[in-house]
Structure 1
Amino acid sequence: MASTKTTPLLAVLCLLLISEVGMLMVEAESKDCETKCAFRCSKSWKPKMCHKTCNTCCQMCNDGCVPPGPTANRDVCPCYAQMKTHGNRYKCP
């Protein structure tokens, strides 16, 4: 049987571990960038480059928003639409 000094410490560590796992699961569910970008880039003439760039944009946006469909309007996702390159071109496909 564990001593009474270590029992509260183990309980706190278990609670921290459970809360971390829960937060990771919520984050993974909310963004789902891989699936959204795969659909977004499905008709691109450079699908690998499109998917890489789209994923970067999706991860940078806190809401994980990617415009639906291969040709949807960027304005559906403001964060995604506002990202520009140094040459002032749209960064996100």
Structure 2
Amino acid sequence: MARFSWAPFAFFFVLAVFTFAIQTVNAGGEGSLRLQDCPNACNVRCSQTQYKSACLEFCNYCCKRCLCVPSGFYGHTGECPCYDNIKTKEGKNKCP
């Protein structure tokens, strides 16, 4: 009778849990961040913009109010409704 090894199953289980944890962190969501997480999340969000200092300023402002930053470099604001609802006097989105 062949011996059954749990090692491959354990490896794939750990891999699946790790993958789910990474997706959950990146998915964001209202209130998913802590205040100290805002600078890092905004650095990622603003890393590909031409106007980095303005982007970081407004992103950090919005993150501190909503405790959320949408994933990616642009768009995806539906992940954070609070982030999406902060507007300028002219009615444009304040948060990058």
Do the two structures share a fold, i.e. TM-score over 0.5? yes
Note the residue ranges of structure 1 that are not aligned, 5 or more in a row.
1-28
**Counterpart residue number, 1:84:** 87
TM-score (ref. length: structure 1): 0.64
Identity score, percent: 40
Runs of 4+ in 1 over 4 A off after TM superposition: none
When Rg is computed on C-alpha atoms for both structures, the one with the higher figure is: 1
Deviation for aligned residue 1:89:
0.3
Cross-structure match for 2:20: none
**RMSD after superposition:** 1.2
Within 2, Cα distance between the matches of 1:67 and 1:86?
A: 22
Select 1:46's aligned residue among 46, 51, 63: 51
* Aligned residues between the structures: 63
Structure with more relative contact order (C-alpha pairs < 8 Å, separation 6 or more): 2
Give the secondary-structure state (helix, strand or coil) at the position aligned to 2:34.
helix
